[in-house]
Amino acid sequence: MTRLIIDIHDPKKEKEVAERLLKIGGVQIERAESSPRKTAQGKPGIKRALTSKEKKFVAELRQALKEVNDHITGKKKFQSAREFLHEL
């Protein structure tokens, strides 16, 4: 199965496009939510500023993901789950 993503900018054309695709046969149509609009720099716009707790969470999450990536690439070795549980 192959999946195509089609962005329809004119809401009036959505029904017409769906009808034409269904006429082809062997096609399943699934309506998805539209992605957020992008700013001039090409990044999705943030509607509100992050709170200090949210900023801290994002920073800690980034650090955790970096450590996992280091473990996967072999730069850092994590202890096994068994060793961790024995310490408790």
Per-residue pLDDT of the chain (88 residues; tens, 9 = 90+): 788 888 888 888 888 888 888 888 888 888 777 666 655 555 666 578 889 999 999 999 999 999 999 988 989 888 888 998 998 8
Helical spans, DSSP H, in 12-74:
14-24, 52-73
What are the C-alpha distances in Å from 28 to residues 23, 53, 70? 11, 43, 41
**pLDDT score recorded for residue 66:** 94
Q: Tokens in use for 22?
A: 């269904």
Place of tokens 């920073």: 59
CB atoms within 10 A of CB 51: 9
**pLDDT score recorded for residue 67:** 92
The pTM of this model reads 0.42
* Number of continuous H segments (helices) and E segments (strands) in the chain: 3, 0
